[in-house]
C-alpha cells in the first residue's frame, strides 16, 4: 500500500483540476476517488515520471496537495526516498516557489485597469504554468 505525503497549499495557490486537464500537458490521467469522504479528495491525477521511474499520484484537499508514487522495483523506490525525488519534482513541476496569491495582488496593484476588471469567478483559480521537460512539450 502506498504511503501518502502532503504539501500544505491552498486551492488559490494551486488547483489541480484547473491546471492539469486544460491543455498544458497531455500525460495526466484523471480518476474519481470512490472512497472519498466529505473532507477528502474526490479525484486523483496520475502520470509516469522518470529518474527514478515511477507513477506519481496526486490528490488535493482544500489545504493540501497529497502525493505518492508507485515504483517498478525496490531500487527505484530507494533512490526516490534517498533524494526526495518525487517531492522535489512536484515542487519544480508546479513552480511552488511562487506564491500566486501574492503575484495576483502585485499584478492588480501594478495594472488595476486590467487585473481589477478580471472576474475569474473560480474558473481559473490556482492555475499554474507547468515547468515541463522540453521533450514532453515538443512530442507529447
Mean pLDDT by 10 residues, the chain (140 residues): 86 93 90 77 92 95 95 94 95 95 86 69 80 80
C-alpha cell at 18: 484547473
Kindly list the strands in the beta sheet with 43-49, ordered across the sheet, starting from the edge strand earlier in the chain.
5-8, 64-70, 54-60, 43-49, 29-32
Give the pLDDT score at 118.
60
* Spatial distance between the Cα atoms of 69 and 95, rounded to a whole number of angstroms: 19
Give the pLDDT score at 105.
85
CA angle, corner 83, sides to 77 and 84, nearest 5? 80
Question: How large is the greatest C-alpha to C-alpha distance in the chain, in angstroms?
Answer: 55
Location of C-alpha cell 526526495: 84
Any residues with CB less than 8 A from the CB of 80 and at least 6 apart, and which?
A: 52, 54, 69, 71, 86
Chain centroid to CA 89: 10
Give the pLDDT score at 1.
46
Give the pLDDT score at 91.
97
Give the pLDDT score at 11.
92
Give the pLDDT score at 112.
80
Q: Which domains does the chain have, with CATH numbers?
A: 5-139 (3.30.310.260)
Q: Positive or negative CA dihedral for 66, 31, 69, 23?
A: negative
Q: What is the pTM of this model?
A: 0.87
Q: Is 126 exposed, middle or buried (0-12, 13-18, 19+ CB in 10 A)?
A: buried
C-alpha cell at 118: 478580471
Amino acid at each position: 500500500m502506498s504511503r501518502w505525503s502532503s504539501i500544505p497549499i491552498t486551492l488559490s495557490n494551486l488547483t489541480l483540476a484547473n491546471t492539469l486537464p486544460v491543455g498544458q500537458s497531455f500525460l495526466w490521467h484523471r480518476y474519481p476517488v470512490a472512497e472519498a469522504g466529505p473532507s477528502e479528495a474526490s479525484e486523483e491525477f496520475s502520470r509516469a515520471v522518470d529518474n527514478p521511474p515511477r507513477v506519481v499520484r496526486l490528490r488535493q484537499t482544500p489545504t493540501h496537495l497529497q502525493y505518492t508514487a508507485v515504483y517498478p522495483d525496490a531500487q527505484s523506490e530507494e533512490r526516490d526516498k534517498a533524494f526526495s525525488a518525487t517531492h522535489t519534482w512536484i515542487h519544480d513541476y508546479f513552480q511552488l516557489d511562487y506564491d500566486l496569491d501574492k503575484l495576483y495582488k502585485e499584478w492588480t496593484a501594478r495594472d488595476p485597469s486590467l487585473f481589477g476588471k478580471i472576474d475569474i469567478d473560480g474558473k481559473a483559480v490556482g492555475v499554474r504554468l507547468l515547468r515541463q521537460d522540453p521533450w514532453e512539450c515538443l512530442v507529447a
